[in-house]
Structure 1
């Protein structure tokens, strides 16, 4: 079996999306998990304009676009069992669309509490629970939960929360990520530097908190890795990287596998430099964790993660002309989708030949997208006795 390092090195561009009418940064990518070959696989892309575009994966043609109006959308995620696509919204809702329908209205609306502004979310592996993280308002930064099952609440198109966690983060909750196979395990990350692991089958927030890890910086990305997914990793807004092993929680061994405050200072890439981190990639079959980063000119780097550090493996170039913001790796066909500040969505496959005849000019937007990210807070861990709930039932 070809190693992922070789697969990545052999990737070539097979297709590019057509230039949009209004250039926009591509901030997030997810692909449909259902098998409907006769209808084609779908790709959902979060745009900096606050909308979601649905593409045909092979042709990269735009099929439809969903607007978060009156709010802007944050994050994009397909359901695991159907072609519903979700996104958190700054209007205090999580919206769900049917990606195969052209309807402008969401098919489901998950309402939060008064003054909630959702900036992160995820759906658990059996599509039963949604969890969204809020901006800090007054003294509250909440994790809000909903029952996402289709047969609940008499098929109502609007759902109220099951409840919320309010005591374990003291600033904006920038990341929420459910365990890939355990529907009750979820990890959250915040600009307060904390990465919290919860078992939501436990009755209350205090007891549900399995462990707290400290990245000592504002969290930008989190994920699960390792055998049986008992490890978590984290990237920060100042390009730090942390990796923890939850197997060590009940032992005397430290749970920290790796802690790098600034990857840019230690990464020895073979071609050019490393300007930023994009995200993590755990390859289950090979039991290897990789970190993907890039340069401001569009080059993409793959780094292998071990307890000894990060080692540069391979690079991709000739595709993007500006910062790459998002990617999605497919283990089924070993393909890679990438999106960036040049408004391009690229499909890479091993040994492929590009179908488009000419390379697109850069469509990088002149002004930067202002992400809603607060400066890291050094406030001590805060315990507030506000809302508690049972979200595991």
Structure 2
């Protein structure tokens, strides 16, 4: 039961500023979480920590060890990145507009409203008050939006919305100087009501070199100060070059103005690279420009998005540019020298409706209201295929047994089959008259494809190969929202809002074989992996378990109280008295059929033991207060005569809008009585899927696709413990060269590190004899250890030799007990397949390299 949060897919970027550390490590905010992407390995992971609300600002220490994350409620987390833990917390008194570590890592500059506060960086030391405020500067007349340190960490340059930049010294108290725009420099912009307003404020980065002004309808202007000679600005007086106080001894004058010629587009992001003397500027029309300073020569001017760019940043070397578009959820890394993409990720624009694992648990497919089907690599956390042929919301997905094809159903009236090898839609299943499909399945052999409709209440059956309709199953009197084939038989189960679950024999054309009647609308249905049990969820919050052989009700779980919790802003009743949403809309059996996962319009995912009908655990999918339905009690002071204050639009707000995760309104297939919240997104889980290996499960939530997995290294679960079974006994057996006995003792102790140590203690020539001596009840645990070693150990041939001898010695036993060993066998297959793919890619790369080297003429 030790499932823990592992990763977040489907949402690579949600707004805020991105940060690059160690030249190839990209850190971006994703809602109230932080995502870390290794650009060299193309691997993405989400840190297992959360803030109270959505993160708006990030800052990283120069060595990449520490990370500051500030949310919308001004709460800051001080994070140790390598360990992925929160070291300290602090709450600032006002909105944080800028955040920056000093180059030496000793100080942190924070722009809080009109103030600039200098804090001493806490580091690893333990203290009651780890944050120490060193100095506060209050010279700005408007909100601080940009900060930049000098290389020696003695001076700080501050840009604010009053169209001025100011320089401060940290070593001594004092405000050195400032400069800004005069009225004759700023062209006034006529607003809608006829009043003259100044253009958007200064958003400089490295303002001691370049100031970038958002010129509104005029365009973008860059202002350059006096030349930078390596130590500082040139001084007007001769002989002052060796003066350390160059920042205030020199005279700052305007050299030149340059325009970016982007018509009415505004500057929304900017970054300056000192080593290359380049400026990258992102505009509100999705275009970015790369300029060489000081001559302001345009090197690249490209359109990479349809919406405004909300972040643009150089890496340390300056060869990669990172761009983020919060509205579309895009995160791009572009190499401007080779003009190629290093990373190109985009999440679903609307809510994810369905999620499913591939048979080998290596891939994950998602379908959403944005008409797209995306396929993700579970190990790397990146999307590598996006299919866009659907013209309406994707409502259901199903992986075929061959692991290379996927089925998707949509409200556009089609069921499409996708091929991963050819990256194309190779088959489309349609009906004589258009229908809206909301459920989908295929039989285990892959001969037929079935889909349930929303409007005609029918189930269409196609031949997978020919695409022709073989049968139309009629009998339901409401939308068919649940559809699933029995894993081992030819029975098809369907659930509908007409209070029934029906079993069909599709191949014998006998129509309805069995009908299970309920007292309320049936929302979904799921088969146990052995096909002998069927689970159905109803609108009154119950989960019913049926015996498919005898046709009788076995168990009933009352889940209304378990899933209850959370109050929407527009609710007039308390969470305890509200009955809306207290039901499960998605069910999923575990790999061994012992427990079941259930979720719905709630912040919880419930795990039940089926035999005892008890709640084992509840997983809270998010603590993000920016979502609706997280709190049980609302603050009465936030209720006004016009409604909740958080739902009232503020015309004067200048915040950058993040990605809108609310669904596209009522598409016609929501639950009866459900109403979409027109304010903040409502927290919910629309789909669940457990990996065939049983090691992880995925949940399609409002925040994205959450991945939970089991970590056995922290679990002590001995199988056959005795007074003589100790780690010391295992060590003694290894020293005495009794490896079979040592392995048996470590299996009984069930300590992961000891089991692996015993595996490596066996000589390659003795593997066969030791494999034969392993008892049958320890086979599953030994396979799990071998799977872990295959994924993380460099001794590939040695581990594969172990796998081969285990299969040879216990082949008949594995066949007799394959149901029990099925999750472990699938995990082993997944690990071996991945190792094979990695070796194949490496061999292909080496082959091409050798061919190239052989083709190069020898000049010696």
The two structures have a TM-score, normalised by structure 2, of 0.33
CA contact (8 A) 2:595 2:607 kept: no
Per the alignment, residue 13 of structure 1 pairs with: 6
Q: 2:455 aligns with which of 107, 113, 136?
A: 136
Once the two structures are TM-superposed, the CA of residue 109 in structure 1 deviates from its matched residue by 0.6
Change over 3 Å in CA distance of 1:276–1:313 after alignment to 2? same
What residue in structure 2 maps to residue 223 of structure 1? 526
Counterpart contact for 2:376–2:383, Cα < 8 Å: yes
- Change in CA separation of 1:107 and 1:142 when aligned onto 2, cut-off 3 Å: same
**Aligned position for 1:98:** 419
Query: What displacement does 1:334 show?
Result: 0.5
Distance 1:15 1:134, change over 3 A: closer
Aligned counterpart for 2:352 among listed residues 5, 26, 31: 26
1:159-212, Cα deviation, whole Å (9 max, x unpaired): 23112112x211211111001122x2100111111100112232342xxx2210
Give the superposition deviation at 1:279.
3.2
Please say if 1:190 is aligned against 2:496: yes
What do residues 103-130 of structure 1 show as CA deviations (whole Å, max 9, x unaligned)? Answer: 4xx2101111313222212011011111
Which of 240, 247, 257 aligns to 2:542? It is 240
> In 1, distance between residues paired with 2:538 and 2:400?
27
Tell me which residue corresponds to 1:339.
700
Aligned partners of 1:237, 1:100: CA distance in 2, in Å? 41
What is aligned with 1:148?
464
Distance 1:100 1:127 in 2: 18
Q: Distance in 2 between matches of 1:318 and 1:177?
A: 26
Paired residues for 1:1-393 under 5 Å: 5=1, 7-8=2-3, 11-14=4-7, 16-17=9-10, 18-19=12-13, 20-21=329-330, 23-34=349-360, 41-103=362-424, 106-137=425-456, 141-149=457-465, 153=466, 159-166=467-474, 168-182=475-489, 184-205=490-511, 209-225=512-528, 228-249=530-551, 255-259=552-556, 263-265=559-561, 275-285=582-592, 287-293=593-599, 296=602, 298-306=603-611, 310-317=613-620, 319=622, 321=624, 322-332=683-693, 334-342=695-703, 344-351=704-711
Give the structure with the larger strand fraction. Answer: 1
> Mind listing any 5+ residue stretches in structure 1 that lack a counterpart?
36-40, 154-158, 250-254, 354-393
Instruction: Name the CA shift for 1:110/1:292 in 2 (closer, same or farther; >3 Å).
Output: same
> Structure 2: how far apart are the matches of 1:174 and 1:317?
25
- CA pair 247-57 structure 1, distance change in 2 beyond 3 A: same
Q: Which has the larger radius of gyration?
A: 2
Which protein, 1 or 2, shows the higher relative CO under an 8 Å CA cutoff with sep ≥ 6? 1
> Unmatched 5+ residue regions in structure 2?
14-328, 331-347, 566-574, 625-682, 714-860
Equivalents in 2 of 1:203, 1:101: separation in Å?
Answer: 35
1:26: Cα distance to partner? 1.8
Determine if contact 1:87/1:95 at 8 Å carries over to the other structure. Answer: yes
More helix by share: 2
User: 1:146, 1:320 → 2: CA distance?
Assistant: 44
Classify the secondary structure of the residue corresponding to 2:444: coil
SS in 2 for 1:125: coil
CA RMSD of aligned residues (A): 3.0
In 2, are the aligned partners of 1:267 and 1:311 still within 8 Å (CA)? no
1:276: how far off?
A: 4.3
Q: In 2, distance between residues paired with 1:92 and 1:318?
A: 32
Q: Shift of residue 79 of structure 1? A: 0.6
